[in-house]
Amino acid sequence: MSKAAKTIFYFGIYLAALGLTLLIVPNMLLNVFKVPSTSEVWIRVVGMLVIFLAYYYLQSAKSDLVTFFRMTVVSRLTVILFFGAFVLLKMASPNIILFGIVDLLGALWTRQALPKRKK
């Protein structure tokens, strides 16, 4: 597995753990981030979607899909911007920035590990 693939693989494991938490014990995580507990299905749907994302990350890492790796860097770099906006607009607790930091650091790690593009 290439260095870049390993970064994506480890991020996929993180996503799988996050998705399972949202699917199985969502309120535990919501309480940590000062989001009101819920018994509605939406949080488990989000968990399911995060598990699907984890699957894409894990499979792309195993197949060394460099194009996918590059696309994830762009999207993961923007997560902190969205979360920052949610906090500034008082839509979310500042604790949510922790997730943005994980995405930011993961994206920077992947970007650093990517092979240089040939010109």
Please state the pTM of the whole predicted model. Answer: 0.89
- Distances in Å between the Cα of 114 and the Cα atoms of 59, 71, 73, 110 are 17, 11, 10, 6
Give the residue from 110, 99, 15, 97 showing the smallest Cα distance to 56.
15
Cα–Cα distance for residue pair 103/79, rounded to 1 Å: 7
pLDDT per residue over 34-77, tens digit each?
Answer: 788 999 999 999 999 999 999 999 999 999 999 999 999 999 99
DSSP state of 42: H
Tokens representing 85 are 């906006």
Q: What are phi and psi of 75, to 5 degrees?
A: -70, -40
What region does 64 belong to: left with phi over 0, alpha with psi -120 to 50, or beta? left
The pLDDT of residue 33: 79
The pLDDT of residue 111: 96
Say yes or no to pLDDT of 119 above 70. no
Tokens representing 67 are 């194009």
